[in-house]
Structure 1
Amino acid sequence: MLKTDYVNAEMLSKFATRLGNRALLPEITPKAQVALMCRMLFTEGWNDHIAGHITVRQPDGCILTNPWELTWDEVTASDIITLDEKGNILDSDWNITPAIGLHLQLHEARPDVNVVVHNHPKWSGIWANLQEVPPIYDQAGAYCGSELPIYNEYLGTFEDEGTSLTAVESIGDAKWALLAHHGALVLGRDLRQAHLRAATLEWRCRRAYEVRLAGGAQPLAEEVINQVGLPDPNGFPFLWEAMARRELRRDPTVLN
């Protein structure tokens, strides 16, 4: 089962008592976890063809990432690439995106960030192109708080080291960002946290656009957002496992 600390010690103890020895997931290798993350986020709308990449820093400093050539809904564990800290491929014949430098620079600049996710999702992409921060209208959109920076100094794609470094410096200590005329970026301590943030961002953006099309409404007040928001550092109890099981039912070969 994926290692996690859920919400807090008291709730964890209660959940563990109820679950007994029941496993929410089979044992999953680090590479299989990354492949599952690709599938899970594809389902959430992070699905722009072969665009986008996920990097996951390992305890030894190496980085796991998906290959450039494959869509996120076809990646399996054996496709996941291991990189050294400089981005050199250690164990694969697949290629990595030329824009991987942004991820490497983020990992280097942010010791708290072990997972970086970038793609061009539909709904967050709309708000990125509008260069507007989507309001929050419901509880699911409030899970990760309201602050959402927009990096609006679009200088082209991130193959250039100077361009990506400028983005890293502008993003600062944010947990996510909209990239104007480009897409979305989500950072996390682990896969659970990054998944919650990515799913929440796309949900929030979708709901905000639907509400705008419907004629508008009153967004949630900041004090309400603070009340209903989840303790983001610990993620959403059981959500990662539930979404992983859904992908395993669809295609068990993702673990291969």
Structure 2
Amino acid sequence: MIMKTAHLDKDELMRHAANRMDTELAGHSRSLRETVALTCNILFRHGHDSGLAGQITALLPDGSGHYLTQRLGLGFDEIDVANLLVVDRDLNVIEGQGMPNPANRFHSWIYDRRPDVRCIVHTHPLHTSALSMLGEPLAIAHMDSCMLYGEVAWLPEWPGVPVGNDEGKIISEVLGGRKAALLAHHGLVVAGSSVEEACVIAVQFERAARLHLLARAAGEIKKIPDALAKEAHDWILTDRRSKALFDYYARGLIRYG
């Protein structure tokens, strides 16, 4: 029996599939606090732990410019809804006990520059950190990594510990309008339109860095044609798919701890 869709071209099939995903990939309803706490736990499970290094922030939806972040002194695996802080752009604590990471200052610079950004992730995962030591940008040369195609900036000179306003200017400027940046001798920064998007981009960024290092050790990395990389980017990086993938990662926490 011939399939009824056998006469359709690829563009039509992709549009049909995208429409179905919009209606059938039902997202899980969570509070912002729950989503941020889950993001911390998910990133810990996916290799983004580095002691007390790294920050996750998410803008409150009330227009105040305040954001949620984790308390300095706790690892990502220790974060829950009860110990998150609410801070203002100057890192004054509005709600909660403890202090934020002083490096959150560069997050404020990104939020001021990018009104589209709702969540920022900065971590030092192993493979990303190793790649950051080589003096070369992240290679996007696998279908899964195409989520990041055209989205990753490269900061080739390390400005030092990012607790000053100069570092905020440098990092926000190199990021520009993109969703991520590789910071030399440092790690990654992700600027997402949602917490879920920032989380899944950060997970994929570290996997892409691992693929980069493995492929480069074996030989020359072959470039993907730009048109195909853009096609894969647009197919993978959608709000619905990001939230469905986030839900998958969240279910993994329940299954495996």
Alignment counterpart, residue 11 of structure 1, candidates 15, 21, 24: 21
Q: Deviations over 1:172-198 (max 9, x none)?
A: 212100111111111101012112211
Residue 92, structure 1, aligned to residue 102, structure 2? no
Give the match for residue 254 of structure 1: none
Residue 248, structure 1, aligned to residue 254, structure 2? yes
- The amino acid that maps onto 2:52 is I
- The amino acid that maps onto 2:104 is I
- For the aligned residue pairs, the C-alpha RMSD in angstroms reads 2.1
Give the match for residue 155 of structure 2: 151
Alignment counterpart, residue 190 of structure 1, candidates 188, 194, 206: 194
Q: Secondary structure at the match of 1:99?
A: helix
**TM-score with structure 1 setting the length:** 0.84
Q: Gapped runs of 5+ residues in structure 1?
A: 1-6, 252-256
- The amino acid that maps onto 1:236 is R
Distance of 2:240 and 2:203 partners within structure 1: 12
1:127/1:41 Cα in 2 relative to 1: closer, same or farther (>3 Å)? same
Contact 1:117–1:187 (CA under 8 A) maintained in structure 2? yes
Distance of 1:235 and 1:122 partners within structure 2: 29
Distance of 1:217 and 1:142 partners within structure 2: 14
Give the match for residue 48 of structure 2: 46
Contact 2:83–2:97 (CA under 8 A) maintained in structure 1? no
Give the match for residue 237 of structure 2: 232
Distance of 1:126 and 1:146 partners within structure 2: 21
Q: State the shift of 1:126 in Å.
A: 1.7
Alignment counterpart, residue 205 of structure 1, candidates 194, 206, 209: 209
Q: State the shift of 1:215 in Å.
A: 2.9
> Map of 1:110-189 to 2, 5 A cutoff?
110-189=114-193
Distance of 1:85 and 1:133 partners within structure 2: 30
Distance of 2:60 and 2:231 partners within structure 1: 34
Q: Secondary structure at the match of 2:188?
A: strand
Distance of 1:48 and 1:91 partners within structure 2: 26
Q: State the shift of 1:138 in Å.
A: 2.1
Distance of 1:202 and 1:236 partners within structure 2: 19
Q: Secondary structure at the match of 2:121?
A: strand
1:174/1:108 Cα in 2 relative to 1: closer, same or farther (>3 Å)? same
Distance of 2:210 and 2:70 partners within structure 1: 26
Contact 1:193–1:235 (CA under 8 A) maintained in structure 2? no
Alignment length (residue pairs): 237
Q: State the shift of 1:211 in Å.
A: 1.1
Contact 1:48–1:119 (CA under 8 A) maintained in structure 2? yes
Distance of 2:88 and 2:136 partners within structure 1: 36
Contact 2:131–2:138 (CA under 8 A) maintained in structure 1? yes
Distance of 2:126 and 2:175 partners within structure 1: 21
1:235/1:140 Cα in 2 relative to 1: closer, same or farther (>3 Å)? farther
Distance of 1:97 and 1:160 partners within structure 2: 12
Distance of 2:140 and 2:148 partners within structure 1: 11
Give the match for residue 3 of structure 1: none
Q: Secondary structure at the match of 1:90?
A: strand
- Structure of greater relative contact order (alpha carbons < 8 Å, 6+ residues apart): 1
Distance of 2:87 and 2:148 partners within structure 1: 30
Q: Secondary structure at the match of 1:213?
A: helix
Q: State the shift of 1:200 in Å.
A: 1.6
Contact 1:142–1:204 (CA under 8 A) maintained in structure 2? no
Q: State the shift of 1:250 in Å.
A: 4.2
Contact 2:125–2:187 (CA under 8 A) maintained in structure 1? yes
Distance of 2:71 and 2:240 partners within structure 1: 27
Contact 1:140–1:203 (CA under 8 A) maintained in structure 2? no
Q: Gapped runs of 5+ residues in structure 2?
A: 1-16
